[in-house]
Structure 1
Amino acid sequence: MTADVLIRDLGRADYEPCWHAMQSFTEQRDQGSQDEIWLVEHDRVFTQGQAGKAEHLLMPGDIPVVQVDRGGQVTYHGPGQLVAYVMLDLKRLGSDVRRLVSALEDSVVEVLAEYGITAAARPDAPGVYVGERKICSLGLRIKRGFSYHGLALNLDMDLEPFGRINPCGYQGMQMTQMADFNVSVDRASVQRRWVELFCQRLDLLPHWHSAERSQRQAG
Structure 2
Amino acid sequence: MIVKTLGWVDYLPTLEAMRAFTAARDADTPDELWLCEHPPTFTQGIAGKPEHLLLPGDIPVVPTERGGQVTYHGPGQVTAYPLVDLRRLGIYVKEYVFRLETALIQTLDGYGVTGLRVAGAPGIYVRPADPGAHAAPAGPTDPANAFKGLAKIAALGIKINRHCSFHGLALNVAMDLEPFGRINPCGYEGLETTSLDKIGVFTDWPTAASRLAERLSAQLTP
Tell me the TM-score normalized by structure 1: 0.89
User: Counterpart amino acid of 2:47?
Assistant: A
Alignment of 1:1-219 (within 5 A): 5-131=1-127, 132-203=150-221
The answer to whether the 8 A contact 1:90-1:145 is kept is yes
Please state whether the residue corresponding to 1:152 is helix, strand or coil: strand
Please state whether the residue corresponding to 1:24 is helix, strand or coil: helix
User: Counterpart amino acid of 2:12?
Assistant: E
**1:201 Cα offset (Å):** 2.1
* Larger proportion of helix: 1
User: Counterpart amino acid of 1:139?
Assistant: G
In the other structure, the counterpart of 1:216 is: none
The answer to whether the 8 A contact 1:106-1:121 is kept is no
The list of structure 1 runs, each at least 4 consecutive aligned residues, that deviate by more than 6 angstroms after superposition, is none
2: CA distance, partners of 1:56 / 1:25: 30
Kindly report the root-mean-square deviation, in angstroms, between the aligned alpha carbons of the 2 structures: 1.0
The number of residue pairs the alignment matches comes to 200
* Larger proportion of strand: 1
2: CA distance, partners of 1:135 / 1:91: 29
The answer to whether the 8 A contact 1:139-1:150 is kept is yes
2: CA distance, partners of 1:183 / 1:71: 30
> What residue ranges of structure 2 are gaps of 5+ in the alignment?
128-149
